[in-house]
Amino acid sequence: MSLRRSFVACCCALSFSAFAENLSLMPWPQQVEQPASGEKLRLTPQLTLNISGDHLAGAESRWLARIARQTGWPLLPAAQPVEHPTIRVVIARAVDPLPKPDSDESYQLQVNGNGVLLSANTRFGAMRGMETLLQLIENGDKETAIPYVTIHDKPRFPWRGLLIDGARHFMPIETIKRQIDGLAAARMNVFHWHLTDDQGWRFASSHYPQLQQKASDGLFYSQEEMREVVRYATERGVRVVPELDVPGHASAIAVAMPELMSAPGPYKMERGWGVFKPLLDPSNEQVYQVIDTLVGEMTAIFPDPYLHIGGDEVDPTQWNASSKIQQFMRDNNLKDAHALQAYFNLRVEKILEAHHRQMVGWDEIYHPDLPRSILIQSWQGQDALGAVAKDNYRGILSTGFYLDQPQPADYHYRNEIFPQGLEAQDEIHSGEQAQSWSFTLPRLKGKAVDGSFTLIEGKEGWRGFIDFAGKSRRMVKSITWLSSQQVSFEVDTWMGPLKPTLTLTPDALSGYMLVGNVRYATQGKRMAKVPAGIAPTLPNMQQMQQNLLGGEAALWAENVNSSIIDTKLWPRAFAVAERLWSAKDVTQPDNMYQRLEAMDRWTTISVGTQQHAQAEQQMMRLANRSDIQPLRLFAQALEPAQYYTRQHLKFQAGHYDYHEPLNRLADVLPAESLAVRALDKQVDALIANRANSSAAAAIRAQLHIWHDNNDQLKPLLSASYMLQPLENSAKQVNELSQMGIELVNAYTRNQAFGANDVADMHAKLDAAAQLQDETVIALVRPLEKLLRAFK
């Protein structure tokens, strides 16, 4: 039997379910085939690597260095070509080394008794395939080996990016390079470099040096440094798209060049976070001359065909208050600020066109006066993106991929690029009963979120939908009646995953909505009829495939600096990378988490990401020379407040600015506690079967770890003024752990609690669910579930 015939061949979702338990690959390839025998290719320190078909400067040394880090072997490039190398990289044709939006990134990988053959049409496919190969290297119980496998792979979307904000908090060049290594390892291909904003101008201009001299605090990128980043990214098959944010987010420009602004200065450096009023003056011809010059400087450094102009969050106050600009609008038949911004963008687009660049901008640039060559990056979500694609403009998605917001990885993972329809699930049929409720969800900053939800009882159980004001209807899932009056359900929103727990009386509702992991008190009332709602904007399939190019993870820097950036990005960015690369139906969250943990370890060793080093360093500083193990264990029970809750808390306290130190435990906590997630899975298993002794033992073991940690933790917290705000959290974790052990014991013995005991336990959980020093006790969630399982 031939080797090919001995393979068990499956592809896409079947391949995923069949093999993903054994192969820690991420993003998951399009097609994976493995022999039933489970054979492996044994590697030795004498392994060799040969690249043919194109000259990849530095790639051989770089890839061997990665293998050396993974194996611990001292590997060097061969002095002479080897006749039978261990790893053969065969590239069909040499192409321009500069990655392009339509670069061919497909590859085929075959590992068998003859060695490794990585075949690709171009260097870019070879680079993507090498990352997959590096993930396959295993240091086993007896040897280092690569499993026999055949992979055929290519990306689902051509634009798979990561935005890093170097304007609000400056990110040194070495920090930037390390993140480029990470995104290349995740088979992403666009580094979007946010270089200018209200808080800093980071692009060194030779024509207007006052920009970096007056508006950067001395923290900026020289032109040589930016060229070095482009070179570094190019060697890894990554495009670099720079962003010059205009006409808003222009406070830094205002400091250096107030003559360009819509209102007279003087201006000073902006230290706060938020949306500010300084705007470039669209009626001033000098503005366009300066932009033309700056674009010329940028295009000389950044060769990518796209240049990002920002264009978001324009506060028109200065435009509306200027008699000169208002007259200009009347002279040019511009009816409002949106039309004026479209005029400005059209002028800028012509400048970009003259410099052979295409415009990228945020949702706000979308306007019918602009040509369809522009690309729209959406922070407003699938509604906005659907309208873009339906109008035959091209777009990419960032909503739901904001990694500066702590969110569960599976929330990002569920975030489909293509807009989703309702499939008539919101229609109410004969014999079904529907009830609709309006609600108001006050936030810590900004307007309250208003909306309504409708629950429908049909023959097959409950289903429902939610209508947020101004947004399209979406279906909810997991509707659960916790009692005759208390209901819960789940739905993904622009704020993150939302899970209400609401008490419904005949006329009113009360309770809370869990936004991410934070409870927001909610009130509402019964509605007389089902609301009409807004249907999702759905382009046809051809429009979605042609116009929606992919997406970008975004890392805004209000709460991120170079000391903690890796803790925010890795390994979580791999969940976004898989959504952008892999087949649409690769969607199993449990397996994703399993592979994500493997990526955490792999990126630390092979890629050199510093998520663990940065977290350890922060904890060492907080522990003030004490052993940090008690702090590590305590941290596993906590999570940072999700959504924008931390930013809003800082705003309320008057600390929402550059001077707020990012030195709390919350700043290096993972976005979600994997220990609590594992505990929650064991709770599910126990609830499903009271006799599941292994689940009960696992729950007790974890709770004992947290309970027994308290004696070592208390003196550590009390000795640090930065940790003292968490002393009450530590006390609650200790008490909840003991309570959880008692719950498990009672549940497995089929014992009941009195009504007063149950009420006391709910009160303890409710108290422990409150925000404390920008953190929440994640342990509350599985214990709530277990307590509710008592009937």
Residues with active-site annotation: 197, 249, 313
**Largest separation between any pair of C-alpha atoms in the chain:** 84
Q: Contact at 8 Å (CB) between 625 and 499? A: no
Q: Write out the two tokens for 601.
A: 């370890």
CA distance linking residue 528 with residue 682, whole number of Å: 42
CA distance linking residue 520 with residue 642, whole number of Å: 12
Bridge partners of 153?
107
Nearest 5°: phi and psi at 579? -60, -30
Coil, strand, or helix at residue 315?
A: coil
Coil, strand, or helix at residue 347?
A: helix
CA distance linking residue 258 with residue 8, whole number of Å: 67
Which letter, b or e, does each residue of 160-185 get, where b requires 16 or more Cβ atoms within 10 Å of its Cβ?
bbbbbbbbbbbbeeebbbbbbbbbbb
CA distance linking residue 664 with residue 649, whole number of Å: 14
Angle (deg, nearest 10), helices 693-708 and 727-748? 160
CA distance linking residue 512 with residue 502, whole number of Å: 6
Q: Please state, as a whole number, how many other Cβ atoms lie within 10 Å of the Cβ of residue 64.
A: 20
Bridge partners of 552?
161
CA distance linking residue 407 with residue 494, whole number of Å: 11
Q: Contact at 8 Å (CB) between 658 and 199? A: yes
Angle (deg, nearest 10), helices 727-748 and 755-768? 140
Q: Contact at 8 Å (CB) between 384 and 650? A: no
Coil, strand, or helix at residue 399?
A: coil
CA distance linking residue 246 with residue 593, whole number of Å: 39
E-strand stretches of 123-237: 138-139, 144-147, 149-153, 159-165, 190-194, 196-197, 200-201
